[in-house]
Chains A and B, each alone.
Chain A
């Protein structure tokens, strides 16, 4: 088990290096250079000496490989540079905003699972009934309606029917004012969780249907167990394995979804920070935030991978997966 753990963790190192290289190179590929791109038309007013000193300040006069090594060694100890627009260290900004995104994602995952798994089970147990049809329609709606559409509609209904604006007023953090915080976070979380619950529903339903046709379920039934017991004790545990994997896969969509949902509901999270940084050409911040989000995503996948191995007895710890 320990050897397996070490192997899996080591396999992720080249990916992390690749991700950091890609993020680094992307910013270097910006037409012109970062100084011109940041300053825009004002760049034309720079004298050669000013430009030169700026280049030195940003380390742009060094060879690219040296720039990368400098950047990544500083990043490892938590120094991602200074945001030009905020005048603050990028790390500080990320630390400030990340809890909001994390809370949003966790609430969305919780809601998605709480709704998706039971509905998926019901649909499978009542296969081809009206209930099944309703669940499938709901799942289809979640699949085809993007987050920004669901969110826009939710805001529309809330404001016209209930006269309530979920994104009005100052944002309250959970530790400051839990009641107000939840009131502000619940609708973004529902928006984000809707699409997620749709995938969970589909996966739970199809995996449950498959498991319910297995021999050991028939055996359990023929032993005279009550249907409830057959479903919860015998079928569900096996049916949930692919659902766990799906949670990992969907995490990427969820993280991507936070960019749009945070912008839509004006939440001060990491996604909105990144979107604003992109439109304001705050490259140190774009680079830092992108690296952070991508690393988080890779780590989540690693954790899911290990969880998967822990849940599914069929996965052997000794052999590496192809």
Chain B
């Protein structure tokens, strides 16, 4: 169909290079990796307190200053340095994204693998419960959790983790069902491997590829949800810096100080773009079915 399809046969006999190497030759994967790396770097800088100014420090004389040498990206209504707040916001959103996706990934994968491996009524019960969670629009489910727990960064983490757990469960379950039937699993059981060992050594590695792709997408969604909840005043609570809160607080000022919405908006869009491109790249690299069919 196109050049990639033609080049396949010549690649096949050689040993496939490592997944990471292949990711570096994949355009969207490469750009995604770069953007995510920048995001991680800013998140780290914020966590170390390496910002131009303390993010909550108010400079009463320098309110609503446009970008300048003193304030790289300008200042907000309280004279706080926007660049410093953006970096602190990266740290906070990163904390929410990583923690919530880690929680959801662990819980969901465990539930999915157990359901798929056990089968029978365990599988039916677990998956029916997951169906109930799927019956909610994702943001609504997050809102329900926030209603119960109240706003705040930690509660946003829990809300996002709960929303994403069923998704990981589904993603992890499907390959388990497929792998379970394979001969190497039967063989492992025949030579007396315990169920746990079969799960960890033989089943889990085969669920990793789709999970890794899912993690990348989950991070981008988690970032968006944190920003969305904060935008609604139900996520990160001011004065803590959050990109969503910044956009919401500065909306009314946009006419006179457009940099106040442009930079936080750009930060959100680039971070989400990074995770999405990385997810796409990872899928191309890890999923053999996609190779040679790059028509997306």
Does the CB pair A260–B228 fall under 8 Å?
Answer: yes
Does the CB pair B295–A156 fall under 8 Å?
Answer: no
**Candidates A18, A210, A255; contact of B140 at CB < 8 Å:** A255
Q: Which A residues are CB-close (under 8 A) to B228?
A: 146-148, 260
Q: Which A residues are CB-close (under 8 A) to B144?
A: 22-23, 26, 290
**Candidates B148, B220, B276, B296; contact of A26 at CB < 8 Å:** B148
CB of B27 within 8 Å of the partner chain: no
Q: Which B residues are CB-close (under 8 A) to A293?
A: 137, 140
Q: Which A residues are CB-close (under 8 A) to B296?
A: 202, 205-206
Q: Which residue of A lies closest to B229 (CB)?
A: A260
Q: Give the A-B contact count at a CB cut-off of 8 A.
A: 136
Q: Which B residues are CB-close (under 8 A) to A65?
A: none
CB of B69 within 8 Å of the partner chain: no
CB of B112 within 8 Å of the partner chain: no
* Assembly CA distance A202 to B62 (angstroms): 45
Does the CB pair A256–B138 fall under 8 Å?
Answer: yes
Chain A window 1-33, contacts with chain B (Cβ cutoff 8 Å), 1 for yes, 0 for no: 000000000000011101101110011011000
Does the CB pair A19–B135 fall under 8 Å?
Answer: yes
Does the CB pair B138–A29 fall under 8 Å?
Answer: no
Q: How many residues of A contact B (CB 8 A)?
A: 56
Chain B window 117-161, contacts with chain A (Cβ cutoff 8 Å), 1 for yes, 0 for no: 000000000001101110111111001111110000000000000
27 sampled A-B residue pairs with Cβ under 8 A: A15-B132, A15-B135, A18-B128, A18-B129, A19-B135, A21-B132, A22-B136, A26-B145, A27-B147, A29-B148, A143-B272, A144-B220, A148-B247, A152-B261, A155-B254, A156-B258, A160-B254, A160-B258, A213-B1, A251-B137, A256-B138, A274-B143, A275-B232, A279-B234, A290-B143, A294-B135, A294-B140
Q: Which residues of B contact A (CB under 8 A)?
A: 1, 128-129, 131-133, 135-140, 143-148, 220, 224, 227-228, 231-234, 244, 247-248, 251, 254-255, 258, 261, 265, 268-270, 272-273, 276, 295-296
Q: Given A256-B139, A274-B143, A293-B137, list of 18 further CB < 8 A pairs?
A: A15-B135, A19-B136, A26-B148, A144-B276, A146-B224, A146-B228, A146-B272, A160-B258, A213-B1, A253-B139, A259-B143, A275-B143, A278-B146, A279-B234, A283-B147, A290-B140, A297-B136, A297-B140
